[in-house]
Amino acid sequence: MQLFGIPNCSTVKKARDWLTNNSVAYEFHDFKKNGVSRSLLENWLKQMPWEKLVNRAGMTWRNLPDADKSAVIDATSAINLMLEKTSVIKRPVLVKDGKIVCLGFTEAAYKELLP
């Protein structure tokens, strides 16, 4: 299992703590240090719409110029933005065998998905 995110994100910290405290083995992938690839994002977008993968509630999105925000209109433009600004990706992304298990974190969702 892989957990994608950035280490200083409070939601990612909660997810990592939950996984550790519940003895769920995972590998952490830091977007800031390791980046993301176009092929990874394309795979994720086959599983989930770009509107869910782009975190439009976060500070990164809110700090973008309006022209940049309005340019994100489809999966291709969303990928380009996510490659340029990885912190705009909703996080954490929990992946098992290439499939998104969960996007974001709530204890209830993790309890249900990872008994």
pLDDT at 24: 96
Dist CA 54 CA 39 (whole Å): 16
pLDDT of residue 71: 96
Torsion of CA 50, 103, 99, 45, to 10 degrees: 0
Tens of pLDDT, residues 15-72: 999 999 999 999 999 998 999 999 999 999 999 999 999 999 999 999 999 999 999 9
Q: Is 2-113 a CATH 3.40.30.10 domain?
A: yes
109 pLDDT more than 80? yes
Residue 115's pLDDT band, with cuts at 50, 70 and 90, is confident
* Active site positions, annotated: 9
Banded model confidence at residue 96, pLDDT cuts 50, 70, 90: very high
pTM (2 d.p.)? 0.92
pLDDT higher than threshold 90 for residue 74: yes
Name the residue ranges covered by the structural domains of the chain. Answer: 2-113
CA dihedral 104, 94, 102, 58 (to 10 degrees): 20
